[in-house]
Structure 1
């Protein structure tokens, strides 16, 4: 079984080495066009050593080009260093053709070793790319990294560039400075030289965050009507804590520049000097991103408080003759699926049923996705909601569900949405259709504009008075890949936001801020809760592949158009060396043809994607990242391509988890949360067990404990109100009580044990859920009041009618805890 990655971050001393890559030659390269042989060049991309892509010269009209060019890279041994070698055919008229891509893990080369590799570019072995790789030790070659065994944070240097406004020559007002550090997080910054206004701020400044070992260079270029001049200095030439002066000398004729003590050539017109100060400082070792697979300290404190309340409630509800000891108190969770307004309405009824049975105070966690998150975010606006009657929030929800949605699309409302989105843009956020959707949700289903944020919900947890809410979404690729090919579970709680497979978390108020290498580089104000609601139920980032899968549950027909052909190039000897060093396969990617690329773009492009600043940006993959249980094949085809994983992206694209599994189980299945019993409420109209089967498959791929879901054909055609699924004694998996959305006995009983008698009562028990014209279809945003009331009463009834089954599951959970302690 794969090992577990570290629960807490730890430091490692990593060896820094020099990698020399020599591009020798290629053999038998096919013609790229009918006029001549290929005009070949090779590009080398190693993002763990530099942001820059380097390339060879172009050898014209040759099927066997020879380059013999050498490139140097500084690599960190504890990072997964995979170099991409791309062979191109240069074309003057049209865009250059990408012929082949080879992904080679340089971790398979030992220090002090030089190896000649011939990469076969065709199945017949005729087309070859010859390369030579050499790895050497370097002096003082050590670096301290912080890692959890999956992602790595490396040492960084901060570079601050300052210009004194009061010392800018008057003739330079209207010009601007272009500042470039290509090997930095920010890459390019711009300073407009404007006449200063007496406001107390007399300095223009901006900051770059650079990898300490990358030897970055700062390029300062003055542009404008007064002329143009440019200077480049190596950042590492400035000692940490010190500063350097750059004198830019500009004229309208021509200019030269110097920095520090270098001299300028005489200018033929009036010289205008602009002094730029560059300061270097090492970034703090303390990270703003928590690396580790354990739960956060705030959640541990909450659990301690919540456990006392749960113990008292269990004693009262189960009529126990003594107080439960701490180790005997089970962790109970409620998990709700999505389903738009149907899920929101049904979840209100479910929670009302649990409240009526006095079971809400037995629950430690509540998770939701899509529409069920609308219910949760409304309830947690009240710090003591679970101790109150739920009639008032249900009445408010009813008022908003039955009202006309046309006013939400009025000119007045549109002006309000535009104003709100302009505010977000000024804060530094990227506006998107997801933000507009969040504003629409607020307008359609809430009585007012809520200024509350996700972190504000901590008030509802400070004394353990309510269950801990967790909201679930999926992180996907914004284009080129379908959700089934690449998806990663992301959880949001009032304490933290994180992506499970990387073990990387940030404070909830920091979501949306800019990060690099685990450090916050630009703080943005926390988003209002409505913008997160739009993200959790983001239906706009769907692509055609997702839509196809949702319709027929299969994508296989389209794979030929959306995936490049990938071949394993390792020989038997290379495989032995690779296994000994835990290196990845050497892979050849043969790009699709023009037609396939066109189809891929149509099928995988997310036309209205909502992107957010990526808090994983810059983090690098640990050399052993793929050997842990968190990385299963279920997450997608990019797991063996570390350069393309989420930390390499500038932005996150979040979608509704219904495009994969319409469930909110994953946060509850983390081993660290030790959940004993999950009350799972499914608000789907069709396959009543689809979410369970999908979750079981996910857990199998990730070696997570989950009960085996076995359902008879009779139950599939005539499902009951509640099912219990449990594992055997050898597996420490939670028991699942599954509540599908069915009208089984509610049509005959208005309350448990109270049959319907009058015609009116019989009509109240009829819900049209199966037809295409059902009032509960997912895209219906408005219900009639009878339809709303019926759905709330149905979901409440289904909970109350299975009270004894729930109580027995609670007794079994306590007994299981006691038995485990006895062993």
Structure 2
């Protein structure tokens, strides 16, 4: 789609499009929302003829951020503050909460009891989640994001969503709920981000579109993940479900080393569960081969793949191959000769050749071969293709672990003639990951000029430095000449020692920023560090109790409740000045 086409025609067609201003669908939704905002302001005794743009941001922080963000939304709604909000945006764990909020049509009633029930009953259906992950492994673009989404995020949140992001359109187009923005970053541009804080790194998702705000290049959200070439849709793919997107948005709970160890341990734990699910129903079946004892080729190959996935240099792999060769017998013809050669040279051949052979062996086992047709067909009749899908899942997950491959999707800008940046258009695939790896809050998406935010309420759910997001955002904005309140490093360090529940940042231009650290002396007293340790980012949901959920919701709600008057005052202030604040009071200072 060319840049010259009218906005109204853009959202009716497939393919890549460019938006020079606010996209037509978002513009319409925000316009409708402005009437609701005016009504909300009036209920707060704020009179206005035009609605200011007020945005609420949620940071990352895993399950802690998910629960705390739900608490914040509940308090905002209960106090009538959410009705005055135009945008809701999130990173990582906050995206889990926001997506749940929209899935429930913004209804927070009964939220606390439902959350407590989930963690009281330890409700999580492993088999259902595993089936989803195995289905995802059939895709060409399977990556650790799929594994993480269906087997980690679903376990943490106790939710498995089949719904789609496009399903939120009606709510936002009618202005009933704020317009949602979900953040990710381009993992292939991580070096550019670290060195130059490049704006191209940021990627956004809304109920209408997915794309790069800095390039103003997008695709309809229903076509995200489909294959494009030169801006044209060449191979449609079904819209990815919300569970996958939650895995993509929330894929960084810790540093790489800790994440890798966590996934590896999780993967090892799945070994016995896979056996139980596919091999031990009604008692294991065995087959007698000509030159071997009774053994299960299926279980043998699963053990082999698991061992290889966990450690490619495991010396037992060669031994497992030898046993498997014996089990298959001498009747395997040319394949047997090739297998013997591979085994003999196993320690010398390249990882690529090893992986090719394992894939070849998997394909070979899928097809019954004479004269051992009985053995292999008995397996096929017993569990059908499901077992081989599980083996493919193990193979692909192992490869992704060793290559550390996340967020693989087709690049919709591939070979696009209107993109001068070769980095952006020469890649066949994108790798999109948690935006918390850049800035642990979605400021860059809200601070784009087309969104014209006047007031930003930033809720920081991190367990570390409560001002790190302010520090990094200020640096990012300084480098790109984006209006943002100036901050003093010495002042931030001092405030971080004993943070309060609310800080107000003002500048000569740009939005007013209200910053809310989750754990602070107003709601935690002198026990801030105790709270941080109690709700560590990598803490598994299995160790959450109903009382822990209740306590976390309480402190999160208090950050809103105790600062309602301040929030209303700032809403009144920006409403009065609306597009231009003529009184630059308290410049470059933080108020609390």
Query: Which residue in the other structure is 1:399 paired with?
Result: 117
Query: Which residue in the other structure is 1:515 paired with?
Result: 228
Matched, 1:784 2:564: no
Cα contact 1:482–1:546 (8 A) shared by 2: no
Matched, 1:678 2:456: yes
**Residues 453-468 of structure 1 mapped to structure 2, 5 A cutoff:** 453-468=164-179
Paired with 2:228 and 2:235, the residues of 1 have a C-alpha distance of 7
Paired with 1:687 and 1:674, the residues of 2 have a C-alpha distance of 28
Cα contact 1:363–1:467 (8 A) shared by 2: yes
**Residues 85-484 of structure 1 mapped to structure 2, 5 A cutoff:** 288-320=15-47, 324-325=48-49, 328-383=50-105, 385=106, 388=107, 390-404=108-122, 413=127, 416-424=128-136, 428-441=139-152, 443-445=154-156, 449-477=160-188, 484=194
Cα contact 2:72–2:560 (8 A) shared by 1: yes
Query: Which residue in the other structure is 1:581 paired with?
Result: none
1:450, distance to aligned residue in structure 2 (A): 2.7
Paired with 1:9 and 1:676, the residues of 2 have a C-alpha distance of 32
Paired with 2:258 and 2:416, the residues of 1 have a C-alpha distance of 29
Query: Which residue in the other structure is 2:475 paired with?
Result: 697
Paired with 2:567 and 2:532, the residues of 1 have a C-alpha distance of 34
Q: Deviations over 1:540-568 (max 9, x none)?
A: 99756999xxxxxxxxxxxxxxxxxxxxx
Query: Which residue in the other structure is 1:497 paired with?
Result: 210
Q: Deviations over 1:97-131 (max 9, x none)?
A: xxxxxxxxxxxxxxxxxxxxxxxxxxxxxxxxxxx
1:10/1:739 CA distance change after superposition, 3 Å: same
1:608, distance to aligned residue in structure 2 (A): 3.6
| Structure 2 length-normalised TM | 0.67
Query: Which residue in the other structure is 1:611 paired with?
Result: 408
Query: Which residue in the other structure is 1:743 paired with?
Result: 520
Cα contact 2:43–2:80 (8 A) shared by 1: no
Q: Over aligned residue pairs, what C-alpha RMSD do you find?
A: 3.2
Paired with 1:818 and 1:655, the residues of 2 have a C-alpha distance of 34
| Larger strand share, 1 or 2 | 1
Paired with 1:501 and 1:819, the residues of 2 have a C-alpha distance of 24
Q: Deviations over 1:139-193 (max 9, x none)?
A: xxxxxxx999xxxxxxxxxxxxxxxxxxxxxxxxxxxxxxxxxxxxxxxxxxxxx
Cα contact 2:521–2:528 (8 A) shared by 1: no
**Residues 772-811 of structure 1 mapped to structure 2, 5 A cutoff:** 774-782=533-541, 783-811=544-572
Matched, 1:664 2:442: yes
Query: Which residue in the other structure is 1:576 paired with?
Result: none
3-state SS, counterpart of residue 21 of structure 2: coil
Cα contact 2:519–2:532 (8 A) shared by 1: no
1:771, distance to aligned residue in structure 2 (A): 4.9
Query: Which residue in the other structure is 2:511 paired with?
Result: 734
Cα contact 2:16–2:232 (8 A) shared by 1: yes
Cα contact 1:336–1:682 (8 A) shared by 2: yes
3-state SS, counterpart of residue 502 of structure 1: coil
Q: Deviations over 1:729-783 (max 9, x none)?
A: xx2x1110000122322357xxxxxxxxxxxxxxxxx8x6525982200000222
Aligned pair partner of 1:526 in 239, 242, 251:
239
Q: Deviations over 1:409-461 (max 9, x none)?
A: x5xx2xx44532454455x5522221121112564255664321010011321
3-state SS, counterpart of residue 514 of structure 2: strand
Cα contact 2:116–2:545 (8 A) shared by 1: no
3-state SS, counterpart of residue 533 of structure 2: coil
Paired with 1:516 and 1:425, the residues of 2 have a C-alpha distance of 24
Query: Which residue in the other structure is 2:323 paired with?
Result: none
Identify unmatched segments of 5+ residues in structure 1. Answer: 1-7, 12-145, 149-285, 548-603, 624-641, 749-765
| Structure 1 length-normalised TM | 0.49
Could you say which structure has the larger radius of gyration? 1
1:608/1:772 CA distance change after superposition, 3 Å: farther
Query: Which residue in the other structure is 1:719 paired with?
Result: 499
1:404, distance to aligned residue in structure 2 (A): 4.0
Cα contact 2:149–2:244 (8 A) shared by 1: yes
Paired with 2:144 and 2:104, the residues of 1 have a C-alpha distance of 29
Paired with 2:102 and 2:515, the residues of 1 have a C-alpha distance of 24
3-state SS, counterpart of residue 22 of structure 2: coil
1:692/1:716 CA distance change after superposition, 3 Å: same
3-state SS, counterpart of residue 246 of structure 2: helix
1:818/1:438 CA distance change after superposition, 3 Å: closer
3-state SS, counterpart of residue 548 of structure 2: helix
Aligned length: 431
Paired with 1:540 and 1:812, the residues of 2 have a C-alpha distance of 37
